[in-house]
Amino acid sequence: MADEISVLIVDDSALMRNLIGKMVETTPGLAIADKAMNGRFALDKIPRVNPDVIVLDLEMPEMNGIEFLRERKKQGIEIPVIILSSIAAKGAAITMEALSLGASDFIQKPSGSISEDIHTVRDNLVGLLQSYGSQYRRTHGKKIAPAGEAKPAESTSKGAVTIASILELNTAHSTSPSKPPTQLRKPAKTEVVAIGISTGGPDALRVVFSKLDTDLNVPIVVVQHMPAGFTNEFAKSLDRICPLDVKEAEDGDPLVPGRILIAQGNKHLEVGRKGSAVVARLSDAPLVSGHRPSADVLFASVALTFQNHALGVIMTGMGRDGAAQLGTIYKEGGLTLGQDEASAVVYGMPRVAYELGHVQEQVPLEKMARRICDIAKTNR
């Protein structure tokens, strides 16, 4: 079907190309554009097959994934790339290099470069292909196949992401926001910025952090949904492009003006007072809103600790994590921003927050850094 999201599969293993291809073929709204055994063949095929999204292995002969990304960047190719590689499990630094070169997201192959159990990451992979592929089609004026018009999919696990759910998240809504909660006090000077973000986050945070003012004198705390073992390298990669210091949060880290703390993968991040200081607290508490770290957990602690001195920001992401407790920041007298629909890879988390009445202002990604800085520098 012409309106399906077309996927280019790049992997040196014929078995992997076949298994990934079957996932694509059996998912409504997805179609195989072509397959390639390395980056060189992929570059040759892109002008002919014009895919909407690319699945890329990193370890390949002749032209590996990193080399492909460098050449893609040099040629100005904007097609989103999802890394699916065993190297992601053992080389966080290489994975972050891939993201810095323009890859949109990554998934670990479950058991090595040839993973016959690749079906275990099917739902995650399909969700990312649908998210990034649909956004690419929308921004390039292409139609997207309506849910239900594509071929039936094989049964998937409970809670699997479907093309219908992605379309729901990325389609304009007429729903008016609910009445916002009554604020207990008026907003005061911003003393902390808390950000919750998920699918589409690595790219979005690069855009925002690279544009922050060098004299932004408030601490920033961030929950980005990401597996354990990757957030330290992710923080380092952001630190290289951000005028402020960026580091992975450690238990007991003080919140320092002009420093950004990134939540560890698989650890909740909260903030709390310790004497006259405010410090980060990490925990292994159960998942909240389906996640650990959870933006809801962070936002709740920020509201409790800073009350009307907080700025809460919810950005691109699937699901509803952070939407409820962003309202607590608002209720305590803090200010809240949400990424707008047009610039979000998945208008899920910010949409739910907006419809709950918890977002005071919707902001395009390109203007988010400016709004954060302007609000944080304004005395109220």
Active-site residue list: 198, 225, 321
DSSP state of 375: H
Inter-residue contact 251 to 284 (CB < 8 Å): no
CA distance 149 to 172: 20
Please report, for residues 249, 326, 340, the alpha-carbon distance to residue 280 in angstroms, rounded to integers and kept in the order given: 7, 19, 29
CA distance 267 to 252: 14
Inter-residue contact 288 to 267 (CB < 8 Å): no
Q: Which of 311, 266, 295, 301 is nearest to 281 (CA)?
A: 301
Q: Which of 154, 156, 260, 167 is nearest to 205 (CA)?
A: 260
Q: Which of 132, 77, 194 is nearest to 344 (CA)?
A: 132
- Residue 126 CB contacts under 8 Å (≥ 6 apart), including other chains: 23, 24, 27, 30, 160, 161
CA distance 288 to 223: 13
- Residue 309 CB contacts under 8 Å (≥ 6 apart), including other chains: 188, 189, 190, 191, 192, 334
CA distance 322 to 316: 11
Residue 36 three-state SS: strand
CA distance 3 to 21: 18
CA distance 249 to 226: 14
E strands, 267-322, in order: 268-274, 277-283, 310-314
CA distance 111 to 42: 24
- How many other CB atoms sit within 10 Å of the CB of residue 292? 22
